[in-house]
Amino acid sequence: MKLRTLAGGMLLSLLCFPALVFSKEIPPRPNTLVNDYAGILDQGQKTALEQKLVAYADSTSTQIAIVLESSLDGDDVFEYSFRLAEA
């Protein structure tokens, strides 16, 4: 009976707190606006995009950062994006 209760409690925890189970680790805060963790862009593309984003931030006071990931490892897009922006 104790095993059944323990298993039920664990299942309930997984259902109530899915973000704790499927949370992709947030990378350390970089010093760049273009962060290609998927390896999609070559160095020239990253540099050109970085320069455009810095110029845009300087001229508008609005900063845009780009993050490219190859997988969210089962994490929800909104949850991951929110945690990433907070970090």
- Whole-angstrom distance, CA of residue 83 vs CA of residue 87: 6
SS3 34: strand
Q: Which residues contact 31 (CB under 8 A, 6 or more apart)?
A: none
SS3 1: coil
Q: What does the pLDDT read at residue 87?
A: 87
Q: What does the pLDDT read at residue 12?
A: 43
Q: What does the pLDDT read at residue 10?
A: 44
- Helix (H) and strand (E) counts in the chain: 4, 2
| pLDDT average per 10 residues of sequence, the chain (87 residues) | 46 48 82 96 98 97 94 93 91
Q: What are phi and psi of 34, to 5 degrees?
A: -110, 115
